[in-house]
């Protein structure tokens, strides 16, 4: 959650950063007006409390002198009633501010480029050369249907559109990729965790999915439980409402989970193939660290995910997202985009974000810094989206006869 005290102290400099991330003038005006009213009512409450303190002292003096205290006591009672009413107003305004703050995104870091969409993202580095083919490369869904690897009709029959059944070598590749990614991340120092695939509303609020993205979530009827949209939710919330006693070294975590999203805002994009599904597998990286460690941790997580792609022989590039393309909770994000020969373009396969103390404030994750409790910084990133990695292997390793080679790194897992 955005720091309300920071907004209160420095609203004018923070507002343009929020606007660059798509926050409307109307919402900012509403927030500013609510702040002004809150400060005014709080000042009024403090004045009444000051009067109460003064009158209480006067009452004590009159009592010691043995003088008449009736009129002064009546004043105190009347002022006490005013205080109670003023406290109700302040509490109501605090609640409104909190609820509104939950809908405000994390302000972008100062070094994030300004922009409104992906066209203005900044390419940082290209890694490995895209392969050259002596034939026109096919898209993964063409290859998958011809080989009997991808069964879209039965996916729809069992569930609905945007579900798929993986068969034959595709099913084996999916499992091999999950194990390969987890083993790789463990070598990089990330502790493997097995998690619930359901999370409650407190956990989803802590990482920023609620209340803003409720329409994208699958909810369990009559339960405060949702199918997780990403392992970021349960991994980060392992430390929800806790004070970590020793955080000299960052906590590094990795987990495989299926992920579930309604893709309500995707419209007609990627309706063919398995690029955008309601259910997909992902291996996640999460780090929890001190504020001064988080920028270095971001680079470490990007290097870890990039090294995975290098080992799989998949050409990709690193891209710094502009303000308008940043996610709700992210202050800074570096995407990895993999080359898909069938599409003839790069597509996102990993998104690694530093959320600074935004999630920590919502989820109340702190660490002991001497005698003080301070908010941690949290980071998260895909390592990788397994289905998209399968797509990339199918398209980059296809042969002229329609068969698909297996990357050397996966041979031991197959």
* 275: Cα separation from own chain's centroid: 20
Give yes or no for a cis peptide into 384 (omega within 30° of 0).
yes
Rounded CA separation 382/263 (Å): 17
Task: Report the candidate in 280, 276, 259, 255 with the shortest Cα–Cα distance to residue 166.
Answer: 280
Distance between CA 289 and CA 249 in Å, rounded? 7
Residues with a known catalytic role: 261, 276, 348, 351, 388
CA 282 to chain centroid:
15
Cα–Cα distance for residue pair 221/213, rounded to 1 Å: 18
Task: Report the run of H or E that residue 147 belongs to, with start and end.
Answer: helix 140-147
User: How many Cα neighbours within 13 Å face the side chain of 71?
Assistant: 3
Residue for token pair 């005290």 = 5
Q: Strands, DSSP E only, in 300-357?
A: 316-320, 332-340, 345-354
Written as six digits, the tokens of 342 are: 């069938």
Distance, CA of 337 to CA of 384 (rounded, Å): 11
Cα 290 to Cα 75, 235, 347, 373: the distances in Å are 51, 17, 32, 11
What does the alpha-carbon distance between residue 406 and residue 414 come to, in Å, rounded to a whole number? 9
Q: Give the integer Cα–Cα distance in Å for 45 and 47.
A: 5
Q: Give CA–CA dist 272/259, Å, rounded.
A: 19
């Amino acid at each position: 959650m955005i720091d309300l005290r920071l907004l209160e102290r420095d609203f004018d400099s923070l507002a343009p950063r929020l606007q660059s991330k798509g926050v409307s003038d109307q919402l900012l005006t509403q927030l500013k007006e609510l702040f002004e009213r809150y400060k005014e009512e709080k000042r009024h409450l403090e004045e009444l409390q000051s009067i109460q303190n003064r009158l209480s002292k006067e009452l004590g003096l009159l009592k010691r002198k043995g003088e008449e205290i009736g009129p002064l006591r009546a004043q105190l009672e009347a002022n006490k009633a005013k205080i109670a009413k003023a406290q109700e107003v302040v509490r109501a305004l605090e609640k409104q501010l909190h609820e509104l703050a939950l809908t405000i995104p994390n302000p972008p870091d100062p070094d994030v480029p300004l922009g409104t969409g992906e066209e203005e993202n900044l390419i940082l580095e290209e890694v490995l050369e895209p392969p050259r083919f002596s034939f026109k490369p096919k898209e993964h869904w063409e290859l998958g249907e011809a080989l009997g690897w991808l069964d879209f009709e039965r996916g729809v029959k069992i569930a609905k559109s945007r579900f798929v059944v993986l068969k034959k070598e595709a099913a084996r590749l999916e499992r091999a990729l999950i194990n390969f990614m987890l083993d790789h991340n463990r070598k990089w120092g990330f502790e493997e965790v097995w998690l619930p695939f359901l999370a409650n509303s407190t956990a989803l609020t802590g990482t920023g999915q609620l209340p803003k993205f409720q329409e994208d979530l699958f909810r369990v009827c009559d339960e405060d439980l949702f199918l997780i949209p990403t392992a970021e939710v349960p991994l980060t919330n392992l430390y929800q409402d806790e004070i970590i006693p020793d955080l000299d070294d960052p906590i590094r975590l990795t987990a495989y989970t299926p992920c579930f999203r309604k893709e309500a805002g995707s419209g007609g994009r990627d309706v063919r193939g398995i690029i955008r599904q309601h259910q997909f597998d992902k291996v996640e990286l999460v780090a929890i660290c001190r504020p001064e460690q988080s920028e270095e941790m971001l680079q470490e997580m990007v290097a870890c995910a990039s090294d995975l792609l290098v080992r799989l022989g998949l050409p990709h590039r690193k891209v710094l997202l502009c303000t308008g393309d940043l996610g709700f909770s992210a202050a800074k994000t570096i995407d990895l985009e993999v080359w898909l020969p069938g599409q003839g373009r790069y597509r996102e396969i990993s998104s690694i974000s530093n959320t600074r103390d935004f999630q920590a404030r919502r989820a109340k994750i702190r660490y002991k810094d001497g005698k003080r409790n301070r908010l941690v910084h949290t980071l998260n990133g895909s390592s990788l989206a397994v289905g998209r990695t399968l797509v990339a292997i199918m398209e980059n390793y296809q042969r002229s006869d329609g068969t698909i080679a297996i990357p050397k790194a996966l041979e031991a897992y197959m």
